[in-house]
Structure 1
Amino acid sequence: MYDIAAFGRMIADQGRMGAYSRALQRSIAHGSTVLDIGAGTGILSLLACQYGARKVYAVEPSSAIAIAEEAARANGFADRMECIQALSTDIRLPQKADVIISDLRGVLPLFQQHLPSIVDARSRLLQPGGNLIPKRDVLWAAVVETPRSYDQLMKPWERERFDLNMAAASQIVKNVWKEGRVTPDQLLTKPYRWATIDYLTVESPDVSGEMTFQVERPGTGHGFVLWFDAVLEEGIGFSNAPGQPELIYSSGFFPWSSPVTLDPADAVSVDLRADLVGSDYVWSWETRVHGKDPGQLKAHFRQSTFFGAPLSPTQLRKRGGRYQPALREDGE
C-alpha cells in the first residue's frame, strides 16, 4: 500500500504523468463515464473531469481517497467525481464505464492483484467496445553485468568481514529479485521480448516463457534484468528500459546463483515464470549457459522466490496438518 509521499512521487514523474494525461485527452469524449481503479489521491480522476468526463468514479481501497475527495471539491468537480473507498472487485456501478484507467503496477506489471483486478473490471464494469488505459505492457529482458547490484545482495553474507558462516542467508538471497537500474553498456546481450500483457484480452494472471540470448561481448554475467514498455494508447506510452529517462518504475534484477564468465560465442537460455499465489507472485527462473563447444554446459541454475524467505521451525509447525492453535494467557 502506498503512502501519500509515494503518491506524490508518482505525480512528480513527468514521463508517466505526461503519457497518462495525453492518453486521457485522446480517450475522453464529452459526456464519457470514467472509472479510475487504484485512484490514490485522485490525480487521474481529476484530469478526466478536466478533460470533459460527465461522470468519474475514483476507486481506491486506502485512506488516500480522502485526499481525492477534498481535491474534487477544491477543483469544482464534486458533482461529477464520486470517490469510493473499496477494492474495484467489490464494487457495483449504476452505469458501465466508457473508459477504465488504472496504474496498479509495482516495479513490474506482474504485481499482487493487478491482473485479476483488470480482468474483473473489464468483464463487469466496462461498456462493450469501451476503452482500457493502459492497452498493454511489453516485458523485455537481457543478460546483465552488474557487480554492484549483485554484491549488494551477496556480499553481506560472505565471511570476509567477521569470518562467520552465514551461508543460510546467502542461499535465501540467491532466490530473490531486487529493484535496480542498469545502463545500456551493462547489457551483455540484445533484449529479448519475454511477454506481452494485452489488457483487452488477458485472462490468466500467470505468465511464463523461455528466452534465448546470444552473448555479444565478453564479460561477467550476474543475472538478467527485466523491464517493460507501457502502451497507454497507440503511440502514447513510456518505458523503464536501460537508457530511457528515469521513471518512478525501476527494473527488476534477477541474480544468478553465482557469476558466470561469458564469451561472445556463448548462448544463455532462461525459462522464466511468474505465478500468482494468494496475494503475490512466485517468480521462478531456470538458467543454462552453453559454451561454444558442442555439449558444453558452463552453468545451470534453478532459482525461485519460493525459497527466498526464511521459514522458522515455528512457522513450519503452524503449516503442518496436525497443528492445533491454542489460546495464550491473555486470551488471544
Structure 2
Amino acid sequence: MSTSIQGYSIFGYGDMITDRYRIDPYIQALKAAIKPGAVVLDIGTGTGFFAVLACQFGARKVYAIEPDDAISIAKQVAIDNHCADKIEFIQALSTQIDLPEQVDVIISDLRGVIPLHQYHLAAITDARQRFLKPGGVQIPLQDTIWAALVCDPEYYHKKYLSPWADAPHGCILTANRQFVTNIWHRHRIEPAQLLVEPQVWTTLDYTTDLEPNVKATRTWTIDRSGTVHGIGMWFDALLAEGIGFSNAPDRPECIYGNAWMPLTEPVDLAPGDRVSVTLQANLIGEDYLWSWQTQVTAGADPQHVKADFKQSTFFGEPRSPQSLQQQSDSYVPTINESGKVALTILNSMTAGKSLGDISQALTQQFPHRFATVAKALSYAVGLTQKYS
C-alpha cells in the first residue's frame, strides 16, 4: 500500500484502509484471486493489511515487500493475527530483490493521486516479468486516466491569484505567479465544474510491458459558454474482471482525490471554440516531470488563437542562474565538504567498517563539523541506511 521512497505516515495507512470505496473492491479482488495454497506477492505492504488478508483467504505463503520502516509494524500485525509463519517480510524495493519461487498472485497499490507515480510502472512490469507464474493473477489489471476542462473560479483565485495578484498589505507579489501556475495539486473536482465531456488520456494495461513516459493530445469543441481555469484528471481502476473503482468527480470521494493542473490565465470560452491540450509525463530521477500545453482557437475564426499556454512542473521551481549553470553538460563540478563527508562514509562502507569506526573517522577528519561521536553517528546512520 506504499511504494513511495518517502513512506506514508501511520495515519496515512489508516486513511487508506478505512476508505471503504477503495478497500472493499481490493478485498473482493484479492479474495477471488487466492486459491488454497496460493503464493502471493504484496508489493508495498505498508503495515501488512493485504498480507494478513491473503493468509486469511487461504494463501500458503506471502512475500510482503515494503521499503519503509512501517514494515516493522507489519511484522507485529502478522503476529497478532497468527499468520507470521506464512509471511516473509522484505524491507526493500521490489525491483531490488529476488524470490525463491514464483507467485500465483501479485497485489499492489503503488499509485499517487494518479497512477503515474514514481517507479510504479517499472515496479509492476518487473514483478510480472520475474515473479508471476504463467497464468497468474495481477491486482490491479488496468488503470484508465481521464482528462477534462474545469471551471473553478473560487479555487483558482485562492491558489493562483490571491495573494500573488492582490497585492496584500500593498506588497506586489506577482513574480510568484509564473511559478505557482506551473504546479499541479490534489483537489476534489465537482461534476458541475466540468465544461466538457471527459476524454481518456491514456490506459495503463499492467498485463503488458509499459513505458514510463506518456504523451497524448486531446481536443474538445465547446458547446456552451464558460470559463476554463484548469485541467482535471482522475482514473478508473480495473482490479479484476467486473471489480474496480473510480475517483471520477461523479463518484464518491476516495483517498486519491483528483489532479488539478491550472492554466496560466483563465480563458473565456464560447460555443464553437476548440481547446487542444497536450499532456505529457516523463519519469526523471525519482518522480515525474509533468507538462501541459493548451491552445484555444475561436470557433468563428480558427486562425484566431485566444490562448496558447506552455506549462510544466519544471518551471514550478525557482532556479538561479548558478543552479542552471550547474546542470549544464559542460559544467565541471568540484566536491564540497558534504561530498567529502559522504565519500568518507561510502569508502568506509566499502572497506567493511562498522558505524562506530565510521563515526570516529568523521570526528577526526571533520572536527569542526562533528564535535562529538554521537553527532557523527547520527549523520552516518542517515546515509548508510540509504545505501546499505
Please state which band the TM-score falls in when normalised by the shorter chain.
Answer: over 0.9
**Of the candidates 60, 66, 69, which is equivalent to residue 63 of structure 1?**
69
Query: What whole-Å deviation, never above 9, does each CA across 1:78-98 have from its counterpart, x for those lacking one?
Result: 111111111111111111111
Shift of 1:234: 1.2
Name structure 2 gaps, 5 residues minimum.
Answer: 1-6, 339-365, 371-388
Cα distance in 2 for residues equivalent to 1:148 and 1:128: 52
Q: 1:85-164 counterparts in 2 under 5 A?
A: 85-154=91-160, 155-164=162-171
Shift of 1:218: 1.5
* Residue aligning to 1:230: 237
* Residue aligning to 2:315: 307
* Residue aligning to 1:322: 332
Contact 2:39 2:103 in 1 (8 A): yes
**Of the candidates 227, 230, 244, which is equivalent to residue 220 of structure 1?**
227
Name the amino acid aligned to 2:181.
Answer: K
Shift of 1:317: 5.2
Contact 2:167 2:173 in 1 (8 A): no
CA 1:251–1:202: 2 relative to 1, 3 Å: farther
1:198 is aligned to 2:192: no
CA 1:202–1:164: 2 relative to 1, 3 Å: farther
Cα distance in 2 for residues equivalent to 1:25 and 1:156: 50
CA 1:267–1:236: 2 relative to 1, 3 Å: same
Shift of 1:293: 1.4
Secondary structure of 2:163's counterpart equals helix
Query: What whole-Å deviation, never above 9, does each CA across 1:189-238 have from its counterpart, x for those lacking one?
Result: 00001100001113211111110112232111001100000000011111
Contact 1:213 1:268 in 2 (8 A): yes
Greater RCO, 1 or 2 (C-alpha within 8 Å, sep 6+): 1
Q: Which range moves more in the overlay, 318-327 or 97-106?
A: 318-327
Higher helix fraction (1 or 2): 2
Name the amino acid aligned to 1:323.
Answer: P
Cα distance in 2 for residues equivalent to 1:81 and 1:326: 45
Number of corresponding residues? 332
Cα distance in 1 for residues equivalent to 2:306 and 2:323: 37
Q: Which range moves more in the overlay, 100-109 or 215-224?
A: 215-224
Cα distance in 1 for residues equivalent to 2:174 and 2:306: 23
**Of the candidates 244, 252, 257, which is equivalent to residue 250 of structure 1?**
257
Contact 1:190 1:214 in 2 (8 A): no
Q: TM-score with structure 1 length normalisation?
A: 0.96
Secondary structure of 2:299's counterpart equals coil
Contact 2:204 2:210 in 1 (8 A): no
Shift of 1:165: 3.0
* Residue aligning to 1:35: 41
Name the amino acid aligned to 1:46.
Answer: V
Secondary structure of 1:89's counterpart equals helix
1:172 is aligned to 2:179: yes
Secondary structure of 2:224's counterpart equals coil
**Of the candidates 13, 21, 24, which is equivalent to residue 27 of structure 2?**
21
Contact 1:317 1:323 in 2 (8 A): no
* Residue aligning to 1:269: 276
Cα distance in 1 for residues equivalent to 2:214 and 2:325: 32
1:210 is aligned to 2:213: no
Query: What whole-Å deviation, never above 9, does each CA across 1:272-299 have from its counterpart, x for those lacking one?
Result: 1100011000111111112111322211
1:188 is aligned to 2:198: no
Q: Specify the structure having the higher radius of gyration (Cα).
A: 2
Cα distance in 2 for residues equivalent to 1:202 and 1:140: 21
CA 1:68–1:157: 2 relative to 1, 3 Å: same
Secondary structure of 1:169's counterpart equals helix
Name structure 1 gaps, 5 residues minimum.
Answer: none
1:297 is aligned to 2:305: yes
CA 1:263–1:123: 2 relative to 1, 3 Å: same
